[in-house]
Structure 1
Amino acid sequence: MQHLLPRLKELAAAAAAETVTLRQHLHAHPELSFQEFNTAAFVTEQLRRLGLNPQPMATTGVVALVEGRNPGSRVVALRADMDALPIQEQNEVSYKSTNPGVMHACGHDVHTSSLLGVARLLTQLRDEFEGTVKLIFQPGEEVLPGGASLMIQEGVLENPAPASVLGQHVFPMLPAGQIGIRPGRYMASTDELYLTVRGKGGHGAMPEMNLDPVLVAAHLIVAAQQLVSRRANPKLPSVLSFGKVIANGATNVIPNEVYIEGTFRTLNEQWREEAHQHLRRLCEGLADSMGAVCELEIRRGYPYLENEPQLTARVRAAAEEYLGAENVIELDQWMAAEDFAYFSQATSACFYRLGTRAADGRHASSVHTPTFDVDAHALEVGPGLMAWLALKELASLEPVTVTHSEAAHA
């Protein structure tokens, strides 16, 4: 396997310009979650040009197999998400978004073009490895219920079933040429909170005639923080944040109701369930004690993301071979959420971060901002590294008995 490393790097360097072109096309034509119809068609056409047989799945998802020798003997999967965000781009570049108010501000264009690059590299090397690499192009990562959950429901982890799933995500905090990785629990679960506090509005000069929902909402927001400060195990990361409060009164008008939106995140499913119960009791009980009513809707989001330790150790070792140990960085836990977590809950999975900042400090804007962009070098590193990780993981697996016909019906 080691003899393939220099050849793979040469192929990745030779294909880098094409990967940049693919990424720029995708960046210029972003589509929102579960509306990636043109993106899916573009991905499908690119895969067919490589001689692959892509299949649709989960609205706008695409799945394809790159088969080496003895394709049914072992299988790994690689995942890229394809959707964009409702953001107006502010970059003045030749590949600026042509869709007003829609932008690839989270790097999913990088993920998709990188996985297309992996497909190109692996088809050139298909006589050099045993097994199958399943390519998963996923829709709708940015919105609930998450395209990963839908693809899993539709059988993306079956026929053939991968022994492991790898995913990468852009990371502007690291320079291009480096990656970040962390074994174990890495990213948080995420739940959306929607509260409506109802009282009795009226003139602001006559509070005794009203039942002020603004005051009740203020008490609720403060009291809810006790879920984290006094209910959660202090060694267990938890975040409760309220980002939207609407009390549509006036300087002298107390409204009838207050609307609140927030998020709850943690890294433990048992505590997640307990926190939901605590929050419901708190909202209903406190509002009732003040004579008001509070309705709480909890929209359950993604689970926490856990990188399987042994797989992650293999991924790290392979990444150090490809990039050098000094370019593989240990990450801290992060309380953001990702629907790749569904893969990590269903099978052995590893999710790592691809550095995208330029050496001179350009392209340092965070994801989900209108000035996000990446250094072109990341589009050489991303496909080559991911292809190498897939090849190394295939080589580490014990062969299984899966027929060729089963592999053909993914």
Structure 2
Amino acid sequence: MDERQKIKRLAAQYAPEFVSVRRYLHQHPELSFQEHRTCAYLKEQLLSLGVTDIVSVAETGLLATIHGGRAGKTVLLRADIDALPIQERNAVDYVSKNDGVMHACGHDAHSASLLLCAKILMELKEDFSGSVKLLFQPAEELSPGGASAVIREKAYTALGSLPHLGQHVRPDIPVGKVGFRSGKFMASMDELFLTVKGKGGHAAMPEKTIDPVLIASHIIVAAQQLVSRRADPKIPSVLSFGKVIADGAINVIPDEVVIEGTFRTLDEDWRKTALGQLDKLVTTLAEAMGGRCELKINHGYPHLKNEPVLTERLKALAEDYLGKENVLGLDQWMAAEDFAYYSQQNPACFYMLGVGNAEKHIGSGLHTPTFDIDESALEVGGGLMVWLALSTLSA
């Protein structure tokens, strides 16, 4: 039996154990940088597998190492572990027990898959050369991202540059399939907080006011020219405002309006330029209308780029493991992911794991209260990650 078939057999054999692991994690979600019990549980699971080289990173994360039978190269595999502030609405027996907190982005599945990967690697460790680093990373969902803390840790910086692999569930991809994209894949994301200040008063006497609602309306519309007229059309850019608070009344013009949104792009130079232009635009427009606008920018994740040579090699390996018909090419995705920090300084590949199943009515989107997965994806995700990691070490 060749290595690929051995990995597939072990993944099928052990996957049911890790369905239980995934369900435990799903029932006990914790928010970003609050994953203390999650971290303890993951460490307990690793120790039970015989993995003893474990260090803490970024307060609530873990970096474990599985050493092969001989010295060699090193590859890092990453899973995120935090949950979202969402009230779950699934009618399943493993529904979240933590009110208002839910694994609505599949991080429970990522962690369970990586643990399954660890079990298989431990069984095969005498057969491969090198080391596999297993990173269970906290706070992916909280800007500026747990990865930004991990990359400052001594245990991480001591590794130097090495291949990083990560996978993320996608409910719009059928279970059994995976997706890859070389080059620029996911967007940067910066949070925008605008406060438009004017002078409130009676709605019947607008001439005695400086109406921040009107100013805010002009700002929201005018700011879109940042994308439509100032961005290079070849650079994807998205500016969205999702929250506007004008706390007046039907007959009261308020003193100020609060606007919140995000800016996303796939180019770091344009990102910096665009944010500077936005600040100038909103400031001068508000002043021209008699008011003021203060813009606070919470700088978030950079864009995520998959190293082309590594990614194309891994895509071909995935085709060997799953069959060419089960490996998809993906479009760029304007969502953000803090795995991007690793990709900015290492050869990296972040790929998508299909978890949807129309026949089982599993297909709710990420970050929704009815998100769930077809758990047979764990066998695919865990086994494939072993195959990709060992193939990378032997390349």
Give the Cα separation in 2 of the matches to 1:127 and 1:70.
8
Cα drift, residue 57 of structure 1: 1.0
Cα drift, residue 159 of structure 1: 3.6
Cα drift, residue 156 of structure 1: 4.6
Provide the secondary structure at the position in 2 that maps to 1:131: strand
Q: Check if 1:246 corresponds to 2:245.
A: yes
The TM-score normalised by the length of structure 2 is 0.98
Give the Cα separation in 2 of the matches to 1:41 and 1:146.
21
Q: Name the structure 2 match of 1:298.
A: 297
Q: Check if 1:307 corresponds to 2:306.
A: yes
Cα drift, residue 205 of structure 1: 0.3
**Pair 98,289 (structure 1): closer, same or farther in 2 beyond 3 Å:** same
Check conservation: 1:134, 1:162, Cα contact below 8 A: no
Check conservation: 2:353, 2:377, Cα contact below 8 A: yes
Give the Cα separation in 2 of the matches to 1:9 and 1:66.
19
Cα drift, residue 377 of structure 1: 1.0
Provide the secondary structure at the position in 1 that maps to 2:184: strand
The residue type paired with residue 321 of structure 1 is D
Provide the secondary structure at the position in 2 that maps to 1:192: strand
Give the Cα separation in 2 of the matches to 1:6 and 1:334.
33
Give the Cα separation in 2 of the matches to 1:5 and 1:158.
32
Cα drift, residue 160 of structure 1: 3.5
Q: Check if 1:55 corresponds to 2:55.
A: yes
Give the Cα separation in 1 of the matches to 2:161 and 2:365.
33
Check conservation: 1:74, 1:162, Cα contact below 8 A: no
Q: Name the structure 2 match of 1:131.
A: 130
How many pairs were matched up? 394
Q: Check if 1:87 corresponds to 2:86.
A: yes
Cα drift, residue 315 of structure 1: 0.8
Cα drift, residue 172 of structure 1: 0.5
Provide the secondary structure at the position in 2 that maps to 1:16: helix
The TM-score normalised by the length of structure 1 is 0.95
Q: Name the structure 2 match of 1:70.
A: 70
Q: Name the structure 2 match of 1:258.
A: 257
Q: Name the structure 1 match of 2:202.
A: 203
1:93-130 residue CA offsets vs partner (Å, 9 max, x unmatched): 11110001000000000000100111000000001110
Cα drift, residue 69 of structure 1: 2.1
Give the Cα separation in 2 of the matches to 1:359 and 1:261.
35
Give the Cα separation in 2 of the matches to 1:200 and 1:368.
38
Q: Name the structure 2 match of 1:219.
A: 218
Give the Cα separation in 2 of the matches to 1:359 and 1:266.
32
Provide the secondary structure at the position in 1 that maps to 2:126: coil
Within a 5 Å distance, the mapping from 1:227-246 to structure 2 comes to: 227-246=226-245
Q: Name the structure 2 match of 1:273.
A: 272
Give the Cα separation in 2 of the matches to 1:362 and 1:161.
44
Provide the secondary structure at the position in 1 that maps to 2:38: helix
Check conservation: 1:76, 1:162, Cα contact below 8 A: no
Give the Cα separation in 1 of the matches to 2:167 and 2:37.
23
1:234-271 residue CA offsets vs partner (Å, 9 max, x unmatched): 11100001000000011110000000001000000000
1:34-67 residue CA offsets vs partner (Å, 9 max, x unmatched): 0000000000011111111221111100011011
Within a 5 Å distance, the mapping from 1:344-359 to structure 2 comes to: 344-358=343-357
Q: Check if 1:391 corresponds to 2:358.
A: no
Cα drift, residue 213 of structure 1: 0.6
Provide the secondary structure at the position in 2 that maps to 1:231: coil
Provide the secondary structure at the position in 2 that maps to 1:375: coil
The residue type paired with residue 186 of structure 1 is F
Cα drift, residue 153 of structure 1: 0.6
Q: Name the structure 1 match of 2:3.
A: 4
Q: Check if 1:368 corresponds to 2:385.
A: no
Give the Cα separation in 1 of the matches to 2:93 and 2:285.
55
Provide the secondary structure at the position in 1 that maps to 2:133: strand
1:158-212 residue CA offsets vs partner (Å, 9 max, x unmatched): 4444520000000001111100110000000000000001000000000111110
Q: Name the structure 1 match of 2:143.
A: 144
Q: Post-superposition, which runs of at least 4 consecutive aligned residues in structure 1 deviate over 3 A? A: 155-162
Q: Check if 1:98 corresponds to 2:97.
A: yes
Give the Cα separation in 1 of the matches to 2:158 and 2:85.
35
The residue type paired with residue 141 of structure 1 is E
Provide the secondary structure at the position in 2 that maps to 1:74: strand
Check conservation: 2:70, 2:126, Cα contact below 8 A: no
Cα drift, residue 360 of structure 1: 1.4
Give the CA RMSD over aligned residues: 1.0
Within a 5 Å distance, the mapping from 1:7-46 to structure 2 comes to: 7-46=6-45
**Pair 74,158 (structure 1): closer, same or farther in 2 beyond 3 Å:** farther
Give the Cα separation in 2 of the matches to 1:13 and 1:382.
11
Provide the secondary structure at the position in 2 that maps to 1:51: coil
Give the Cα separation in 2 of the matches to 1:359 and 1:211.
54
Cα drift, residue 346 of structure 1: 1.5
> How many percent identity over aligned positions?
59
Within a 5 Å distance, the mapping from 1:159-174 to structure 2 comes to: 159-161=158-160, 163-174=162-173
Give the Cα separation in 2 of the matches to 1:204 and 1:67.
71
